[in-house]
């Protein structure tokens, strides 16, 4: 299923002109020309088809090799029956899949019951993301901060670690009177990319898109989308589907930070 790298759909050509500035770098695949031979027998665990384990890559955090082979991630929140019946917020769990429907990672929130139900969308959390070997490859740390644009001195921030304990980047909320805006930073807190969402994030019968752009906000680099899942599911559950698209040759660390940005946006807006 893994042929030569394909360009991300959309007008992203301008982003490649300033590749060095936006965290792009060539992604070695472990095979000549970046080719990875197809896997005939797809790994399956407990009835779930996992993405085949890629070869190790020098200077790539362990577990992020999967990200060198994809330009899109689909995130499916799992349905929690206890939450539907009781109304109490439970730890959220998510499947992260590639465009072929193979599971790349599994993510689970780690917070206590009091924090979840008292702090709501502003709650601090630790999100643990594991691969199909059971390794925790990405850890997201969100401290308790203000979720309102009325308090610009203490807006949201999320730290992305890969492997756990090693910071690879941050997602920082920017103050704006009406638009949700964020900045993706590297491990040294240097700005790398910008994210801008719509003024109204609750829309009926259509997706909600957060555009990932260059620092000057002139070039489209990728997109984080909340997918419309149907009237019944939208009204009676809080399970959502999300999509992340990015250039194939974007630095894997920045791809991991974009995953963190998606979870921060999910917790704040949906």
pLDDT tens column, 99-139: 999 999 999 998 877 776 776 667 788 999 999 889 999 99
* Within-domain flag for 138: yes
pLDDT tens digits along 200-227: 766 566 788 999 999 998 999 999 998 7
Q: pLDDT-based confidence at 28, cuts 50/70/90?
A: very low
CATH number of the domain encompassing residue 91: 2.40.160.200
* Within-domain flag for 45: no
* Within-domain flag for 33: no
pTM, two decimal places = 0.77
* Within-domain flag for 30: no
Give me the number of domains the chain comprises.
1
Question: Which region, left, alpha or beta, applies to residue 118 given φ > 0 means left and ψ of -120 to 50 means alpha?
Answer: alpha
How is 45-86 classified by DSSP, letter by letter?
A: ETTEEBPPPPPP-TTS-TTGGGGGG-SEEEEEEPP-HHHHHH
* Within-domain flag for 57: no
How is 137-167 classified by DSSP, letter by letter?
A: EEEEEE------TT-GGG--EEEEESSTTSE
Domain with 89, as residue range(s), is 65-269
Q: pLDDT-based confidence at 48, cuts 50/70/90?
A: confident
């Amino acid at each position: 299923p893994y042929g030569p790298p394909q360009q991300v759909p959309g007008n992203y050509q301008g982003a490649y002109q300033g590749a060095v500035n936006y965290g792009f770098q060539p992604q070695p695949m472990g095979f000549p020309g970046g080719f990875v031979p197809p896997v005939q027998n797809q790994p399956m665990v407990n009835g779930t088809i996992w993405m085949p384990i890629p070869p190790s890559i020098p200077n790539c955090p362990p577990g992020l090799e999967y990200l060198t082979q994809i330009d899109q991630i689909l995130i499916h929140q799992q349905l929690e029956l206890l939450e539907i019946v009781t109304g109490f917020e439970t730890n959220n769990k998510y499947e992260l899949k590639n465009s072929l429907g193979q599971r790349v990672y599994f993510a689970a929130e780690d917070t206590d019951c009091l924090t979840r139900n008292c702090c709501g969308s502003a709650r601090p959390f630790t999100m643990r993301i594991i691969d199909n070997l059971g390794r925790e490859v990405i850890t997201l740390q969100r401290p308790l901060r203000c979720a309102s644009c009325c308090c610009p001195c203490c807006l949201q921030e999320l730290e992305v670690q890969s492997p756990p304990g090693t910071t690879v980047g941050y997602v920082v909320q920017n103050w704006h009177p009406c638009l949700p805006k964020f900045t993706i930073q590297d491990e040294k807190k240097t700005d790398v990319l910008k994210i801008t969402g719509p003024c109204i994030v609750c829309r009926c019968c259509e997706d909600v898109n957060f555009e990932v752009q260059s620092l000057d906000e002139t070039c489209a680099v990728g997109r984080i989308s909340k997918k419309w899942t149907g009237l019944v599911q939208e009204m009676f559950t809080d399970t959502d589907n999300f999509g992340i698209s990015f250039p194939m040759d974007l630095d894997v660390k920045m791809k991991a930070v974009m995953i963190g940005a998606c979870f921060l946006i999910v917790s704040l807006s949906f």
